């Protein structure tokens, strides 16, 4: 009986979701800094000194920062969101492609944006990895940057010899079909990746594109209330948790202000 009880406890612990909220509160500063940093001077109100900036990559409106995080000892990749949320929503293509020649599909526009910066990203990642003698990575981004972070996290985990320790996104749109979500969720579990898809109150972006268009979210949603004082670790292993951000559907998921404010941090170039 004792052994059975011990086995139950071990199984429960292994299956229980955990959330490192303190690290998310730290990394949100890096996600916001992407809107502000254009030079290596590293001067903005979220430009924490422990983030060692190594490179800034920008092409066709897509921007990311690469460097080293002294706190965790991880290389960081941080993507900026769109500079104009309303225009970005209007210009979303709502069309899927399979870049990997199988049934796994992602949004065409998101993947094309990723291809604009893919080559310099991996060139820079290789150099930083050699410089700091590590292959451990944290990836983050807000809004459009969340979608790009997720695609990069997927390709790195599947095709490259790096280890994604954390994928922390803020206000991510849906970006792939069910096969993409299933494959990514399996990688999260098998690779022991700490993946947090953070949502905020009635933010409208996590509800786009809609499910009926064959768009879905990866697992591990962390849903914060409007004042960001409490959060829920959502039950979304297979489908979005109706008790989390999806609880505002179908009529109240309309807030842009909730999209521009995460973990007590305002996002965008107006907050540098």
Structure-token match 């999209």, residue found: 259
Per-residue pLDDT at 9: 33
- Please count the helices (runs of H) and the strands (runs of E) in the chain: 6, 12
Would you call 42 exposed, middle or buried from its count of C-beta atoms within 10 A (0-12, 13-18, 19+)? middle
Q: Which positions of the chain have pLDDT values less than 50?
A: 1-16
Domain ranges of the chain: 18-271
Per-residue pLDDT at 87: 64
CB 205 within 8 A of CB 173: yes
SS3 25: helix
pTM score of the predicted model: 0.92
In order of 170, 173, 177, 249, 259, the CA distances from 211 in angstroms are 19, 11, 9, 12, 19
CATH class for domain 18-271? alpha beta
Ranges of beta strands (E only) in 62-162 are: 62-69, 74-79, 96-97, 106-107, 136-142
Q: What is the pLDDT of residues 197-222, one digit of tens each?
A: 999 999 999 999 999 999 999 999 99
């Amino acid at each position: 009986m004792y052994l059975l009880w011990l086995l139950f406890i071990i199984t429960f612990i292994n299956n229980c979701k955990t959330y490192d909220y303190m690290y998310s509160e730290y990394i949100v500063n890096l996600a916001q800094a992407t809107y502000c940093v254009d030079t290596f001077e590293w001067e903005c109100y979220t430009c924490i000194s422990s983030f060692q900036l190594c490179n800034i990559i920008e092409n066709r409106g897509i921007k990311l920062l690469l460097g080293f995080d002294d706190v965790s000892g991880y290389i960081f990749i941080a993507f900026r969101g769109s500079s104009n949320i309303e225009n970005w929503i209007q210009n979303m293509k709502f069309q899927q492609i399979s870049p990997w020649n199988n049934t796994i599909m992602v949004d065409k526009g998101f993947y094309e944006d990723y291809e604009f910066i893919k080559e310099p990203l991996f060139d820079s990642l290789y150099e930083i990895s050699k410089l700091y003698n590590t292959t451990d990575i944290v990836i983050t981004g807000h809004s459009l940057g969340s979608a790009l972070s997720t695609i990069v996290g997927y390709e790195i985990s599947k095709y490259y010899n790096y280890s994604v320790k954390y994928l922390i996104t803020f206000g991510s749109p849906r970006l792939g079909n069910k096969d993409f979500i299933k494959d990514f969720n399996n990688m999260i579990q098998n690779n022991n990746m700490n993946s947090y898809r953070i949502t905020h109150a009635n933010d409208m972006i996590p509800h786009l594109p809609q499910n009926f268009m064959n768009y879905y979210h990866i697992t591990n949603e962390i849903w914060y209330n409007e004042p960001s004082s409490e959060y829920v670790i959502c039950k979304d292993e297979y489908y979005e948790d109706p008790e989390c951000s999806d609880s505002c559907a179908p009529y109240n998921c309309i807030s842009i202000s909730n999209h521009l404010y995460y973990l007590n941090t305002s996002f965008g170039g107006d907050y540098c």
